[in-house]
Amino acid sequence: MTRVLSVAPECVPLIKTGGLADVAGALPAALAECGVAMRTLLPGYPAVLGGLADTRSERRWDDLFGGPARLLQGRAGDGVFYALDAPHLYDRPGGPYQDADGRDWPDNDIRFAALCRAATDIAADGAAGWRPQALHLHDWQAGLVPAYLRGAMPKGAPGTLMTIHNIAFAGATPADRLGVLDLPEAGFTSEGFEFYGRISTLKAGLVWADRISTVSPTYAAELMRPETGGGFDGVLRARAEDVSGILNGIDLEAWAPPFRSPRGKRRHKAALRAEFGLPQAPGPLCVVVSRLTHQKGIDLLVDALPALLGQGGQLIVLGSGEPALEAALRGAGDLYRNVAVRIGYDEALSRRLIAGGDAILVPSRFEPCGLTQLYGLRHATLPLVALTGGLADTVIAANDAALKIGVATGFTFAPGDRTALEQALSGMCATYRQPDLWARMQKNAMRHPVDWGASAGRYAALFAAIAHR
């Protein structure tokens, strides 16, 4: 077995704000079948410390970025976790990255530098006799690990794989934080971690990790282009040979539909309509489960709503995020009787929506992989998605060619284009009016492989290639 330490800022079942947590949570079990023994290091947020069982203390730091800290080992579900218990950094109300009002914690740079330092110390010394041969680094929060390893372990360091879940988060912090972060001044160049005059912890990872991956093949290609590379396209092109696009999967058991065939959906759809006070309607019942940010294209959807509602469609949105988008959605909910909006984060409701909806809408401007369209496929809830990133890699559009050979699973449109979205909504409603065709697409969708199988194999091969023996 190859021993791998996953260094993650969030992980199911302990703490989640988005897809990264699902991926970090699902990989250890998926990889166990491919010869990889993965353990996960998380910040000791209250939810993490409270959720771990059988904890024991494995090591201590007298002063880790401004306060004492300990490393705890524990279990959650089938997973083995290390939690960095550092109260001065993590013991506070609010979210992993932001306070309750949605403002980034001002000390986020050292909060995650500490996580990286702890990972480096585990790599160097092991924890209770367990020493990783490779490290899996998730996003900017884990980006400093390769930089710290270079200092701490010039020889014999474990291999590192840096995974980009979303290039939009650079982990940027002012240049004068070099000393605080314990980074070498020589690294502050355009070939190192300098990023438009600031330090980028993501860039440190991209420059010095042994390998780089991202969460879909199309996103990997998009990241190398100036328009979609978030400022990192040059760095990534320079390392093109080391970059892989590995599609996310989902945990089939955790996301098993509560029915065996699409017919079983009816009961759940009726229950949803009742729950939200929606009338019967001739068009598809569409659902959205999303963070409400500019990335997710929710504003486009609000503008395009008449194209859906005019054909008898309905919409239920569950999400939270930017106040302006929340307000726009609330406004649409007040204006249209066939639109219902629930602002908030609610896992149980998200499952009811995905089970009961006819279609799930993902109108993102960009989307590294996207998970909700995968849940949709598994639940015969046909995805309507923007043709970008992992959405393009997972949904087969109902065009003539795909319909002819019977493989269509959903509907697509050009990202960021309101007119194209309106056309796609119209096309979806027209398809819905052909029940046989819709039912065939539902069967295709449920058959579409959305498990971790092939992707877990690709991760395992990467870890085997970089593992320190």
Least distance to ligand ADP from the beta carbon of 457, Å? 21
Least distance to ligand ADP from the beta carbon of 336, Å? 20
Least distance to ligand ADP from the beta carbon of 354, Å? 8
Query: Which tokens sit at 394?
Result: 């997972």
Least distance to ligand ADP from the beta carbon of 377, Å? 13
Number of Cβ atoms within 10 Å of the Cβ of 335? 11
Least distance to ligand ADP from the beta carbon of 347, Å? 5
Report the residue number whose CB is nearest to ligand ADP. 19
Distant-in-sequence, close-in-space partners of 404: CB < 8 Å, separation ≥ 6: none
CB nearer to ligand ADP: pick between 289 and 315: 289
CB nearer to ligand ADP: pick between 187 and 245: 245
CA dihedral angle for residue 333, residue 334, residue 336, residue 340, rounded to 10 degrees: 30
CB nearer to ligand ADP: pick between 147 and 317: 317
Least distance to ligand ADP from the beta carbon of 321, Å? 8
CB nearer to ligand ADP: pick between 4 and 371: 371
Least distance to ligand ADP from the beta carbon of 364, Å? 8
CB nearer to ligand ADP: pick between 72 and 360: 360
Least distance to ligand ADP from the beta carbon of 209, Å? 21
Distant-in-sequence, close-in-space partners of 240: CB < 8 Å, separation ≥ 6: 224
CB nearer to ligand ADP: pick between 211 and 342: 342
The C-alpha angle 185, 187, 188, rounded to 5 degrees, equals 70
Q: 135 with 159: CB under 8 angstroms? A: yes
CB nearer to ligand ADP: pick between 366 and 413: 366
CB nearer to ligand ADP: pick between 73 and 372: 372
CB nearer to ligand ADP: pick between 149 and 332: 332
Closest CA to 92 of 113, 67, 75, 71: 67
CB nearer to ligand ADP: pick between 30 and 110: 30
- Rounded Cα distance, 441 and 254, in Å: 23
Least distance to ligand ADP from the beta carbon of 342, Å? 8
Least distance to ligand ADP from the beta carbon of 371, Å? 4
Residue type, position 326, single letter: E
- Rounded Cα distance, 8 and 20, in Å: 8
The residue ranges that bind ligand ADP (CB under 6 A) are 18-19, 22, 289-291, 318-320, 345-347, 350, 369-372
